[in-house]
Structure 1
Amino acid sequence: MRSVTRRLMLLDTASLYFRAYFGVPDTVRAPDGTPVNAVRGLLDFIARLVQDHRPDELVACMDADWRPGWRVALIPSYKAHRVAVETPAGEADEEEVPDTLSPQVPVIEAVLDALGIARVGVAGYEADDVIGTLATRSAGPVDIVTGDRDLYQLVNDARGVRVLYPLKGVGTLQVADGEWLREKYGVDGSGYADLALLRGDPSDGLPGVPGIGEKTAAKLLAAFGDLAGIMAALEDPRSKLTPGQRKRLDEARDYVAVAPRVVRVASDVPLPEFDPALPREPKDPVALEELARRWGLGGSLDRLLTVLPQ
């Protein structure tokens, strides 16, 4: 029998429900007055994505650990500014999120489960790592939907992996493939992690190499190939690094030694067994009906249920 290529869509779920929360007015509420703007917004996002891109498989990737200890051990500033409160040693940090968003997350999870949309998170790893592992393992084309530029590192034209980056809702998406990355940043997917490492990322608490911005990082990568090539050039007094670049890279040796493991998404996460197939009908219609009634999911859920069988 001839094998059929299946298109996989991976959702950076937290990235999308954050966007939904801030993009949909908090006047969208359940019958009891509880805000459900993130829940309904995410359902509308998924409906539009399924309608426009027709994936055969869909996985909602979750942050089981949004700030893994192994990353923090390497770079203590990693996402430190996002920690809600100081926690006792040994306890997981809690991410600071809007008061009316946190209660919506369990509702989102319950609705996805009742629909039968695969929801995957793994202890000790971020959603990015789950996405990286699934994208690496997939035999078919992969669409990664995220508002996080970190995942540009997974773009791979040869394997059909691209990023769909929301510009306005999910109706207007930037399709990030290799050609777009090279035009925008001067690197392809395999070089983006090195670019991000050198440039730094304040939103993730990554300092980067002081004095080396995005354009300089891209020029260095073009000249020396990758981070290893740049650091080899630092050891070669005949290389064409400028005195200023040499000084900055030399002073950043400790950071450069550990940052790759922090910046690069994992591709070897031990995933649980799950069915990625996009459901054509709800897995648990009784539970879904109760959730729809309790939370007033109305047209948002109806729109998703309409496109799933198509």
Structure 2
Amino acid sequence: MDTNPAPRLLLLDTASMYFRAFFGSPEIKAPDGTNVNAVRGMLGYLSYLVEQYRPTHLVCCWDDDWRPAWRVDLLPTYKAHRVVEPVAGSPDIEEVPDPLEVQVPIIREVLGAFGIAVVGAPGHEADDVIGTLATGAGLPVDIVTGDRDLFQLVDDAAEVRVLYIGKGVGKHERVDEAWVLDKYGVRADQYADFATLRGDASDGLPGVKGVGDKTAATLLQRFGTLDGLVEAAADPGSDLAPGPRLKIKDAAAYLAVAPKVVAVVRDLDLPRGDALALPSAPADEDALAELTERWGIGTAVERLTTTLAG
């Protein structure tokens, strides 16, 4: 690794990555029979990304609350289909395969032993952590995610881009403003409004009935923002066609709350600076050695250790 690498912050949507590692690789058994494919896969992804981008700072952003109550209060359908047996008065539990669920604490322990920053925020998702740390970072930022909602953070002037892993970590796409415009026909700063209009079944966002990608893009190209579109729908003198006007007016209740659900939070009180620096050696070698032996992850740990040392 360069002795004085250019400053760069790598923000990882951790759950997006370990889900991908779990479903994308065969079972790998630890000495006690526990499947550790997500653990090994996550460490492999870290090694690959550090090798490729040589960040000086790196954060594994964490879902302290994968389905925040304040988002659900605004839009009850938000991620509702992912909840396992909802119980009144109890926190929502995300549907996670048992062989993956047991690996998540292991991933957290291994990251801790390496000294890699893991940052979450009470009552918020990893997306909000990413949004906050990417905003005003003062250095180039790469966001690693399979979540298209984070395209709203892309900002060429601020040197914020997304490394989109929808096709795999090794086949990721570098998303900048031109990429978003070419793909969706809207600017990156319009993407949250675009997502609100078209909806997203994977997040329980119904969208505006009858408005898909093409119509959403066309409307935003004409009216600029969702607020501008809603104002046009309410103005009898605007040149908004009757069909889209009716659809927007019929969706008034949804459009009054959905933008707050879709927009990532950017102003959380989170650590910055040296607290996010990528270590060049494991922080706790004894703990890492114990975890390595217990879970049989020597090859993955050795590769990441070597990568960090440069």
Taking structure 2 as the reference length, the TM-score comes to: 0.96
Q: Please state how far the C-alpha of 1:302 moved relative to its aligned partner.
A: 1.0
- Percent same amino acid among aligned pairs? 58
Give 1:270 deviation, angstroms.
2.3
Which residue is equivalent to 2:11? 10
| Alpha-carbon distance between aligned partners in 1 of 2:219 and 2:268, rounded to the nearest angstrom | 31
Is the 1:5–1:140 Cα contact (8 Å) retained in structure 2?
Answer: no
Q: CA shift at 1:92, angstroms?
A: 1.0
Q: What secondary structure sits across from 1:240 in the alignment?
A: coil
- Residues 199 and 213, structure 1, Cα contact 8 Å, conserved in 2: yes
- Shift in Å, 1:252: 0.6
Shift of 1:174: 0.7
Q: Who is 1:297 aligned against?
A: 297
Equivalent residues in 2 for 1:173-192, closer than 5 Å: 173-192=172-191
CA distance 1:205–1:43, shift in 2 (3 Å): same
Deviation at 1:74, TM superposition (A): 0.3
Work out the CA distance in 2 between the residues paired with 1:155 and 1:143: 9
The answer to whether the 8 Å contact 1:7/1:140 transfers is yes
8 Å CA contact 1:45–1:169 kept in 2: the answer is no
Output the CA distance in 2 between the equivalents of 1:65 and 1:270.
Answer: 16
Whole-Å separation in 2 of the counterparts to 1:118 and 1:100: 25
Task: Report the AA paired with residue 173 of structure 1.
Answer: H
| Aligned-partner residue type, residue 101 of structure 1 | L
Corresponding residue for 2:23?
22
- 1:62 aligned partner: 62
Structure 1 contact 112–118 (Cα < 8 Å) conserved: yes
Structure-2 residue corresponding to 1:50? 50
Q: Which residue in 2 is equivalent to 1:222?
A: 221
For residue 168 of structure 1, report the CA deviation from its aligned partner.
4.3
Structure 1 residue aligned with 2:120: 121
- Structure 1 segments unaligned to the other structure (5+ residues): none
Q: Corresponding residue for 1:288?
A: 288
* Cα distance in 2 for residues equivalent to 1:226 and 1:38: 40
User: In the alignment, which residue of structure 2 is the partner of 1:235?
Assistant: 234
- Matched residue SS, 2:12: strand
Deviation at 1:235, TM superposition (A): 2.1
Deviates more, 1:297-306 or 1:116-125: 297-306
1:135-284 equivalences under 5 Å are 135-272=134-271, 275-284=275-284
**Aligned counterparts of 1:266 and 1:44: Cα–Cα separation in 2:** 29
What is the root-mean-square deviation in Å for CA atoms of aligned residues?
Answer: 1.4
Structure 2 unaligned spans of 5+: none
SS in 2 for 1:300: helix
- Contact 1:155 / 1:188 at 8 angstroms: preserved in 2? no
Give yes or no for contact 2:233–2:246 (8 Å, CA) kept in 1. no
Shift of 1:272: 4.8
Count of aligned pairs: 306
* Alpha-carbon distance between aligned partners in 2 of 1:137 and 1:121, rounded to the nearest angstrom: 18
Deviation readout 1:44-64 (Å, 9 max, x if unpaired): 000000001111100000000
Q: Does the 8 A contact of 1:12 with 1:128 survive in 2? A: yes
- Could you list the per-position Cα deviations for residues 60-119 of structure 1 after superposition, in whole angstroms to 9, with x for gaps in the alignment? 000000000000000000000000112232x21000001100000000000000000000
Q: Any idea what SS the aligned residue of 1:162 has?
A: strand
The residue matched to 2:302 in structure 1 has which SS? helix
- The DSSP-based 3-state class of the residue aligned with 1:11 is strand
**Partner deviation per Cα, 1:157-213 (whole Å, 9 max, x = no partner):** 010000001144322111110000000001122100000000000000001110111
CA distance in 2, matches of 1:55, 1:36: 26
Change (3 A) 1:93 1:167: closer
Equivalent in the alignment of 1:88:
88
Q: Residue 309 of structure 2: SS of its match in structure 1? A: coil
Secondary structure in structure 2 of the residue aligned to 1:269: coil
Kept in 1: contact 2:234–2:249 (CA 8 A): no
Q: Residues 259-296 of structure 1: CA distance to partner in whole angstroms, max 9, x if unpaired?
A: 11100000012225771111000000000000000000
In structure 2, relative to structure 1, the CA distance for the partners of 1:256 and 1:302 (3 Å cut) is: same
Q: AA paired with 2:138? A: A
Aligned partners of 1:131 and 1:66: how far apart in 2? 14
For the Cα contact (< 8 Å) 1:8–1:57, is it kept in 2?
yes
Using a 3 Å threshold, how does the CA distance of structure 1 residues 220 and 168 change in structure 2: closer, same or farther? closer
